[in-house]
Structure 1
Amino acid sequence: MIEQMNKYHDELAKLIERHTPVHGVHVTAIPSLLFMRYSNVTGPRYGMYKPSICMVVQGAKEVWLAQERFKYSPTDYLIASVDLPVTAQVTEASSRVPYLGFKLEFTPSQILAVLRDSQIPIEPRENAKRAMFVSHTESSLLDAVIRLARLLDSPEDIPVLAPLFVKEILYRVLHGQHGVALEQTAIEGSSAYRIKDVIEHITKNFERSFRIDELAKIANMGISSLHRHFKEVTAMSPIQFQKQLRLQEARRLLLSESTDATDIAFRVGYESPSQFSREYSRMYGLPPIEDVRRLRAQFDQSIEA
């Protein structure tokens, strides 16, 4: 079994290397499938994880959800079952042995289709579970992943076979150790499903102020239940979740536009520029303008290298 798993990893590594000529994130010809390649350990990277299955094929990576660390390597896979603001960092990589990663994004409707077709009992549950988890990779799952990746060498087969292989991958995950946490985000009426609705509302309206009773109404929960279930799913409160979205968007705007920090603060929903600067510094380690200078200097150095 170990020998077979090693063969799978070697083949998948070669496939990813062939389709990632330079470092960075690469979109593939298969919808929602991305490959990653990095030749160096990276600093913390902030962003949103969509619902996805992530695999490290070579190297190692850490993902932080609030104060929780999820560390995984080629023997594991990571699942994000809802949209989550995270901090990710490649912790093992070199020019000789680059970090190689595989990411397949999916939707709740795809999960629900697998549940219905496989006749897995569909029962809403009241106790929501964490929307991010790491599990051990079984050979059956890796086999399905390999067959999906191989389609990149026969693109004419992608329209017919890719949906079947994606369905099998999701089926294997649903039958894994944390399958219940994934299935509940797709089952209408479950606590996780209702929290997902709240997450979608905050994500679409993060620059707006909101009352907690407004969110409780969306979830059809009491205020205390909303707080409890939201924190169980996301490891943070609704306000903390919104703050991460605001600060991530602020950093993106500061890097992409020639405007001042005060204007950005108002655009992402802050009423006080000083509060924005404090919270930005707490998250990124430097005030907005200094942080942007640092990031641009790092980018220039990477180009020169």
Structure 2
Amino acid sequence: MLTFTKPFTVTEPPIDQMQVTVMRAELAAMIERKTGTDGMHDSVYPPLGFARTTQIHHPVHSVCEPAFCILAQGSKRVLLGEEAYIYDSNQYLVASQNLPVSSQVIDASPEAPYLGLRLSFNVKDIAALALEFGLAETGPKVRPQRGIFTGALTPTLLDPVLRLMKLLDTPQDVAALAPLISREILYRLLRSPDGWRLAQMAVVDSHSQRVAQVIGYLSRHFREPLRIEDLADSVHMSVSSLHHHFKSVTSMSPLQFQKQLRLQESRRIMIGERVDAATAGHRVGYESQSQFNREYSRFFGMPPVRDVKRLREMQLGQVAQAGEPGEVGDPGR
């Protein structure tokens, strides 16, 4: 079986909850200062972004890119297929793959706004770091694990996060120092009890890497007809093995994965480019309008026209409340 080096077997010391509470309060104050209004907010360091909301909205469907996410305040539910991941200010969430998810803020109010932080990362950086410090070693392959997981927030993780936040106040230092702190955060994640879930990406020619290749291909070519046999051949796997390991990571089949990408992109096109359902369906690869309408209604809960009308009304409400352009949302934050 695939084995990992000692960092993954060492038991971490008990978490000092009082220290975590103090550090989390400091983080919440920093995010509030960087945001101030509801919505998504970028920073001077592109991989780092923030989210703030005082309301509970409908679930948001999107593709969650590889990232490390913390909630300084509030809680969120993330759905991957039929599986739910619920986390709050005591936990973090990590996505190690590009995955179509549905997410919903489930705890937010004007008195206690939902305050989130997202640090995006490159899977190649994780693999390089794991190999550089010997945090994973090759061996016979095991079944890959889910591409999303949660873990307990610790002072060890919060410390570099707070330092990264403080660095934003001196923009002239960001280019030189922010990548170093981001690297430290990734290292701490790899050393965490669930770090092996990330380290599996570093195992050369593993099933995890092959599934990652398939995910990358589908993300770029989801509009094209899908031939599972050709896809399996491209990563030197049998069709049954591809299905088995792909579902282990994503909780869905390659065909279901492609369908979700198509439907989410069609929704984005209709809202952002204001095209009709027939045009959007055709642009994402549907040849049958009736099939597109049927699958869209099943996935989003209502026909395209009604759904887009509802989302546009939500956007107008957000604009009126915030006094600035609104967004449908970003589940990764």
Aligned match of 1:237: 253
Partner amino acid, structure 2, of 1:293: K
Separation of aligned partners in 2, 1:55 and 1:201: 29
Deviation at 1:126? 3.2
Q: Is the 8 A contact 1:188 1:194 kept in 2?
A: no
Aligned match of 1:40: 55
Q: Determine which of 255, 277, 283 is the counterpart of 2:271.
A: 255
Aligned match of 1:126: 142
Deviation at 1:165? 1.1
| Deviation by residue 1:252-280 (Cα, 9 ceiling, x = unmatched) | 11112333211211111111100100110
Q: Determine which of 91, 96, 101 is the counterpart of 1:81.
A: 96
Separation of aligned partners in 2, 1:31 and 1:260: 33
Say yes or no: does 1:18 pair with 2:33. yes
Q: Is the 8 A contact 1:45 1:88 kept in 2?
A: yes
Aligned match of 2:283: 267
Partner amino acid, structure 2, of 1:4: Q
Separation of aligned partners in 1, 2:135 and 2:64: 26
Aligned match of 1:143: 159
Considering Cα pairs closer than 8 Å and 6+ residues apart, tell me whether 1 or 2 has the greater RCO.
Answer: 2
Separation of aligned partners in 2, 1:179 and 1:151: 26
Aligned match of 2:86: 71
Aligned match of 1:217: 233
List structure 1 segments (4+ residues) > 6 angstroms apart after TM superposition. Answer: none
Separation of aligned partners in 1, 2:174 and 2:91: 26
Partner amino acid, structure 1, of 2:288: S
- Which secondary structure state, in structure 1, belongs to the residue aligned with residue 105 of structure 2? strand
Deviation at 1:175? 1.3
Q: Which runs of structure 2 are paired with 1:122-201 in the superposition (5 Å)?
A: 122-123=137-138, 125-201=141-217
User: Sequence identity of aligned pairs in percent?
Assistant: 42
Separation of aligned partners in 2, 1:106 and 1:291: 32
Q: Is the 8 A contact 2:68 2:119 kept in 1?
A: yes
Q: Is the 8 A contact 1:51 1:106 kept in 2?
A: yes
Deviation at 1:120? 2.0
Partner amino acid, structure 2, of 1:272: S
Structure 1 vs Structure 2 CA RMSD = 1.3
Q: Determine which of 122, 126, 131 is the counterpart of 1:107.
A: 122
Deviation at 1:197? 0.3
Aligned match of 2:296: 280
Deviation at 1:149? 1.2
Equivalent pairs, count: 305
State the TM-score, normalizing by the size of structure 1. 0.96
Q: Is the 8 A contact 1:41 1:91 kept in 2?
A: yes
Aligned match of 2:73: 58
Deviation at 1:300? 2.1
Aligned match of 2:112: 97
